[in-house]
Amino acid sequence: MGQTDDAAAADRRPPVDVVVVDDHPLFTRGLSLLLPGLSEGRVRVVATTEDASAAAAMVQRHHADVAIVDLHMPPPGGTRAIAAIRRADPMVRVVALSGLAEADAAIEALRAGASGFLPKTADPEALVRPLLAVLDGWSVLPEALLRQLLADAAPAGEQGIVDQLTADERRLWRLIADGTGTVDIATTLHVSERTTKRLVAHLLRRLQVATRVEAAALAGRVGLGAGEPVRHTGGPAG
């Protein structure tokens, strides 16, 4: 289908009815006035509410296609409003707004059922395409926020393993990397051999390796430092 056909299909699409859930009257009034003109009549605001608890009922009453919900509203709050809207009508798409492009707020909104997240600092015309996109099954996030979420979700590399361990676990890892046997580890840590075996097994699970040899190799790859000196006490295991 060519561009002309795409444009014709867009023209044939019925108007998108939007409910705005926001406790800032100037903002909701602005969207109500601007969206129809900016979208050439494709988007219209059919209702607004400052009460998050009334959002779901209003969306149902007006048979809205999309709800625009401010996350930072008085209790019960925007996130609960999103969840209530989605429970009441799973076909309704929700675009969450926030004063800042906050990763935590975006994740909460998406988990509650939002299809998109945009900062309130965006120009009103920037809302038109996301509103149409979510109706077509797309999710919408600012590129910078998407990259931040992907970076935060990326698994920590091998180097990050060291920072996830306690000081005692790092000390045990160094002993294993040095080839220290179970009896000597028990003596050094002032624990029984049985406890030592349990601690070693736990550490191997945390490192996601199967053997002490693999743990020693991993220690070499991440450059596990010598840290505090490890001294053998010569006393009996506890």
Check which CATH number belongs to the domain holding 93 and give it. 3.40.50.2300
Query: Is the pLDDT at 183 greater than 80, yes or no?
Result: yes
Q: Work out how many domains the chain is built from and give that number.
A: 2
Residues 137 and 162 in one domain: no
Domain end marker among 128, 153, 178 = 153
Query: Is residue 72 situated within a structural domain?
Result: yes
Confidence of residue 158 (pLDDT cuts 50, 70, 90): low
Residues 90 and 182 in one domain: no
Query: Is the pLDDT at 151 greater than 90, yes or no?
Result: no
Residues 139 and 193 in one domain: no
- Phi/psi of residue 94, each to 5°? -120, 130
Cα 114 from Cα 141, distance rounded (Å)? 11
**pLDDT given at position 94:** 97
Residues 27 and 40 in one domain: yes
| Per-residue model confidence as pLDDT tens digits over 26-68 | 999 999 999 999 999 999 999 999 999 999 999 999 999 999 9
**pLDDT given at position 187:** 93
DSSP state of 116: E
Query: Is residue 191 situated within a structural domain?
Result: yes
- Phi/psi of residue 18, each to 5°? -120, 135
Query: Is the pLDDT at 154 greater than 80, yes or no?
Result: no
Contact 49, 84 (CB under 8 A): no
Residues 139 and 172 in one domain: no
Query: Is the pLDDT at 237 greater than 60, yes or no?
Result: no
Neighbours of 179 (CB within 10 A): 10
The helix/strand/coil state of 218 is helix
Residues 143 and 214 in one domain: no
Domain end marker among 119, 136, 153 = 153
Residues 135 and 185 in one domain: no
Confidence of residue 7 (pLDDT cuts 50, 70, 90): very low
Q: Is the peptide bond before 14 cis (omega within 30 degrees of 0)?
A: no
Residues 143 and 170 in one domain: no
Query: Is residue 184 situated within a structural domain?
Result: yes
Domain that holds residue 55: 3-153
Query: Is residue 117 situated within a structural domain?
Result: yes
The predicted model gives 119-128 an average pLDDT of: 84
The predicted model gives 94-111 an average pLDDT of: 87
Residues 105 and 165 in one domain: no
Query: Is residue 62 situated within a structural domain?
Result: yes
Residues 95 and 176 in one domain: no
Cα 190 from Cα 45, distance rounded (Å)? 71
Residues 205 and 139 in one domain: no
Residues 6+ apart with CB under 8 A from 3: none
- Name the more confident of 176 and 230: 176
The predicted model gives 188-197 an average pLDDT of: 92
Query: Is residue 210 situated within a structural domain?
Result: yes
In a 10 Å sphere around its CB, with 0-12 CB exposed, 13-18 middle and 19+ buried, how is residue 21 labelled?
Answer: buried
Residues 67 and 133 in one domain: yes
Its pTM stands at: 0.61
Query: Is residue 231 situated within a structural domain?
Result: no
**pLDDT given at position 148:** 77
- The domain that holds 211 is classified in CATH as 1.10.10.10
Query: Is residue 169 situated within a structural domain?
Result: yes
